[in-house]
Chains A and B, each alone.
Chain A
Amino acid sequence: MSHSTPPASEPNSTSTMPEQPGVLVVKKHHLLVRWSHWLNVPILLGLILSGTSIYWASPVYQHKPDPNTANFDVAADIGTWLCAHLPGLHHYSSPPDWIYNHMSLGPGMLALALRLHWLCAYSFMLNGMVYIAGLVMGGGWRSLLPRRTDLFDALRMLRYYLGVPFAKLIHREWLHPRFNSKYNALQRAAYFSVPVAGFLSVTTGWAIHKPMQLHWLAALFGGFDAARVWHFWLMWLFIFFVVPHVILVFADGWDTLRSMIVGWSTRVKRTEPIANER
């Protein structure tokens, strides 16, 4: 990356070069936001893997036991189907365990999974507090709040995303909508709902974990059994968020990825230049 800049702007060893051109950089993410963002990667991975191992012990989605295999777990059915239909999986040793062997710590390890799940869950809650502290200290929370124009702007962004492949195909210019804010409406919706989903994951988690002492919390989600369903689908919300999130970051380029590591971005919005008011 360091060789991408033209040689003209290479820092000179002599400190008496007055023409040294500077770059304008903008501080995008507070240190605590960056730290908690990256810590979420191993924590959420640990929560999903151990959580799916816990799910194995009593699946949310069951059917009447199959007369031949006695299987009642829909996830096991999916594994069996995958192994029967995907090339290369025909000789998989235990098709019903395929999902649990690939999306969890493994079947039949409830105790170990629970222990890891509590460890990750407490880390996730602490990390969430660090994230909120970073949002408050850096003032970044304001950029996440929904706005009145968001629905219209989100549609503009959707139109843009849907048009990109077509425009690429016919070599037509297809301009990204311009926004005068840190995030566009779709980003804002995503970055606002993911912390909300995190909060709901924690609260549904407590409702499942302590359904007697916190029975009011379980009742809020429709009772103990319903809270498990909520908790399960909130996991999928994270997965559905992460996939386009990672794709779009790489599509957007190094500057965006760097801003979450280093904090600085060289993409300074020039919609309101300094000269205007000086």
Chain B
Amino acid sequence: MSDDKKSDSLQPEETRSTGSPLSAKCGPRTDGAALPVAVGFLSMKKPQGFFEERSLPTIEMTPGHLRYLSRRDVLLFGAGAVAALAGGGFLLPQDTLSRLGVRRNMDSRGKEWFLNKALRIDDDVAEALYSGNRRVPTYTKSQITPLKNNYNGATPDPGYISGWNLTLDGLASGLGISLDIRNLTTRFSVHEQITRLVCVEGWSAIAWWAGLRFDDLLRAYPPMSQAKWARVESSVNLDASGNPDPYFMSLDLGTARHPQTLLATHFNGQPLTVDHGAPLRLVVPVKLGLKNVKAITKITYSSEEPRDYWAQYGYSRYDGI
């Protein structure tokens, strides 16, 4: 302390002024002459308006101190760049890494957990954005666009249609119910809508649907009181090589009750074709296309979130759009 004072007093007047904001930061430098000294603003013109550019704050420091700051920050920067490279590289898919020449398998449970966490956060955001009162835009018939058959795999053999039934499970009555297509089309009022179907792949199509409201089915056959989810399933779905590949989707009951969520029987004014999921398919415009299950054969209500076909391939589960 006393040594400092002694050396201080040996300095000329101007370098002795302390209290500049930076002097506190340059700890490792002990030589007093290295203390930067604020000299104020170079441009003395008073700023005229709130939006007018101010002069940049100027201080005087020794070249040594500037070098010390530069060295310290460049080293920190380099460490950060290496960390970002390693962290970012670690998060890349294994296929991408092997293309870059990484032989080791970098997949780990921690990585999956972290990436799925990002997916969950996004699902939570989607759920927060959803409003049961908000209707999706509807279009006119002149705005209808072609809808491609994006059946996952192969289109099923139409033979299933003649013996088709819709099974309901997890009802308040505790019974399983089986309905044929005539039950569904005669008991419930028909609703029509021209809405946009948005695929996870990025394409979209405007299509004209008609059918019953999912909400009306829920009222006619109420699910058990603790039910929060519906598992919507099609047992006739095939995989790419034509083998049976049951398709199943989770749908929260909030979305199922949305007035524009239909169990459609008609597409563009005609009964559904096999391509589009005859005789009954889900049309849920507030969800991605992959939730719009074709050729539904079974709906099961549950309190726990059911499994979801695409979630096992790394897609999200809520899929609200």
Segment at the interface with B among A83-91, A195-203, A211-219, A243-251? A211-219
Are B203 and A119 closer than 8 Å at their CB atoms?
no
Inter-chain CA distance A214–B126, complex, in Å, is: 11
Considering only CB atoms and an 8 Å cut-off, how many residues of chain A contact the other chain? 82
Task: Report B240 CB to chain A, min CB distance, Å.
Answer: 13
B71 to chain A, nearest CB (A): 7
A88-127 Cβ-contact flags toward B at 8 Å (1 or 0): 0000000000000100011001111111101100100000
Q: Does A9 contact B (CB under 8 A)?
A: yes
Contact A115 B53 (CB under 8 A): no
Task: Verify B129–A105 contact, CB threshold 8 A.
Answer: no
A268 in complex: contacting residue of B34, B42, B70, CB < 8 Å: B42
Contact of B321 with A262 in the complex, beta carbons under 8 Å: no
Instruction: Provide the residues of chain A in CB contact with B7, threshold 8 Å.
Output: 15-16
Q: Which of A63-71, A138-146, A153-161, A163-171 is near enough to bind chain B?
A: A138-146
Interface size class of B (residues with CB under 8 A): 35 or more
Contact B64 A10 (CB under 8 A): yes
Q: How far is the CA of A28 from the CA of B199 in the complex (A)?
A: 46
- Within the complex, what minimum Cβ distance (angstroms) separates B101 from chain A? 13
Closest A residue by C-beta to B84: A42
A1 contacts partner chain B, Cβ-Cβ < 8 Å: yes
CB contact between B91 and one of A41, A111, A119, A142 (< 8 Å): that residue = A119
Q: Nearest Cβ distance between residue B315 and chain A, in whole angstroms?
A: 5
For the complex, what is the distance from the CA of A145 to the CA of B59, rounded to whole Å?
A: 25
- Smallest Cβ-Cβ distance to A57: which chain B residue: B201
B172 within 8 A of A: no
Whether a CB of chain A sits under 8 angstroms from the CB of B80 is: yes
**For A213, what are the chain B residues with a Cβ–Cβ distance below 8 Å?**
126, 129-131, 134, 286, 320-321
Residues 42-81 of A at the B interface (beta carbon under 8 Å): 42, 45-46, 49, 54-55, 57-58, 60
* Between-chain CB contacts (< 8 Å), 26 pairs: A5-B67, A9-B64, A10-B64, A15-B7, A17-B33, A18-B33, A23-B62, A24-B42, A25-B58, A42-B88, A114-B200, A114-B315, A114-B316, A115-B119, A119-B91, A122-B118, A139-B54, A182-B53, A210-B321, A215-B137, A224-B204, A261-B74, A263-B73, A264-B66, A269-B43, A274-B42
Give the 7 A-B residue pairs with the shortest CB-CB distance, closest first: A11-B64, A111-B314, A58-B202, A277-B44, A119-B118, A57-B201, A22-B60
Known contacts A16-B7, A57-B201; can you find 5 more A-B pairs with CB under 8 A? Answer: A5-B67, A20-B15, A23-B60, A24-B60, A115-B115
